[in-house]
A = this chain, B = another copy of it.
Amino acid sequence: MNVLVNITFDGTNYHGTQIQSNADTVFSRFQNALVKVLGKPTDIKACSRLDSGVHANCFYLSFYADDGLDVRHLHFALNYHLPPDIRALGAEVVPDGFHRRYSCKGKEYTYYMWNSHTDNPFLEKYYYRVPQKLNVDLMNEAAQHFVGTHDFTSFMASNSKITDCVRTVSYAKVERDGDMVKFIVCADGFLYNMVRIMAGTLIRVGRGYIAVNDVKTIIESKDRQKAGVTVPAKGLFLSKVIY
């Protein structure tokens, strides 16, 4: 049977989600735990690739298991073998044709910015601090230019090999909650560093360096140099996977 497991993790100490030789990754930790639970190695597929240091409120992994596996209690067994910064939340049986990556209809990312002169010692692993006052209304207006189907070449890491850069953003918003400013964006797919470059560009809008409509021009330019910097991975969370 095809089993889908939902996990959440603090990515601070991991080199992303992919399997890599000589690197401690979320994937390798999950694989080790699953071998202990099942008693044998199994091929595991992930819903997405996440870079070093990126966090996930939810992340899906799937594998084929023998019938009779106690799926309802599987996450307890996995958590026994997983480190405290990776937690399995639940598991379910999905149809055989279900592919954890290609069956996914969209993903939502949240980028957290802490808009204060002073760091918050409890959250500082989970945001990028911007000391200068951010105008969140302008940032939210600018983010609306991302919505729709566009070629996002300007928002892709310049060393990426991808050639089809057209993606469809279903919603994007910027909200403030006290000193925390959140940029939330949902799309059918994301290019390498796309959310982090989008956030870096919106920060330029929020600080008044560029205008709201400049974001439209930046998209149309298809030029990475026109967009803002790639802000640090530590503020980025995969917040929803939509099946």
Contact = CB atoms under 8 A, between A and B. Distances in A.
Interface of A: 8-10, 55, 75-76, 79, 84-89, 117-122, 124, 126
Contact of A89 (B55, B76, B86, B118): B118
A122 B10 contact: yes
Dominant secondary structure at the A interface: mixed
A122 to B, nearest CB: 6
A96 to B, nearest CB: 28
A126 B84 CA distance: 13
Q: How many copies does the complex hold?
A: 2
A10 B182 CA distance: 23
Contact of A118 (B85, B87, B119): B87
Contact of A9 (B10, B75, B79, B121): B121
Contacts of A79: 118-119
22 contacts: A8-B120, A8-B121, A9-B121, A10-B121, A10-B122, A55-B122, A75-B118, A76-B117, A79-B118, A79-B119, A84-B119, A84-B121, A84-B124, A85-B121, A86-B121, A87-B118, A87-B119, A87-B120, A87-B121, A88-B118, A89-B118, A122-B126
Given A84-B119, A87-B120, A122-B126, 6 more contacts: A55-B122, A75-B118, A76-B117, A86-B121, A87-B121, A88-B118
